[in-house]
Amino acid sequence: MRWQDRRFALDRSKNLVWLSWAVLLIFPHPAAASPPATGLLATCLVGQAQTGTIKGRLVWGDEKTPPAKVLVEKGKSDKDPDICAKDDPIMSRELVVDPKNKGVAYGFAYLVLPTGDFAQAARDLVGKQPKVVLDQKSCEFQPYVLPLHKDQTLVIKSSDPKNHNVRFAGFNNPGINQVVAPLGQLQVKLVPDRLPLELHCDIHSWMKGYLMVFDHPFFTTTGTDGSFQIKGIPAGEQNLVVWQEKVGYATSGGGKGIPVTVRAGEVTDVGVITLDTAKVK
* pLDDT per residue as tens digits for the range 35-75: 343 343 333 444 445 999 999 999 999 999 999 999 999 99
Reported residue count of the chain is 281
Torsion 56-60-66-72 (CA) sign: negative
Q: Residue range 99-126: average pLDDT?
A: 97
* Nearest CA-CA partner of 155 in 139, 131, 183: 131
Q: Residue range 14-38: average pLDDT?
A: 41
Backbone angles phi, psi at 46, to 5 degrees: -65, -45
d(CA 9, CA 139): 93
Neighbouring C-beta atoms of residue 192, cutoff 10 Å:
15
Torsion 67-244-157-169 (CA) sign: positive
pLDDT at residue number 252? 97
Cα–Cα distances (Å) from 17 to 21, 108, 256, in that order, read: 6, 70, 73
* CATH number assigned to the domain covering 52-279: 2.60.40.420
pLDDT at 30 over 70: no
> How far, in whole angstroms, is CA 210 from its chain's centroid?
15
d(CA 142, CA 201): 13
pLDDT at residue number 239? 98
| Beta strands in 11-60, from DSSP E residues, in sequence order | 51-60
* Nearest CA-CA partner of 196 in 102, 71, 96, 110: 110
Say whether pTM exceeds 0.85: no
pLDDT at residue number 175? 83
DSSP class of 74: T
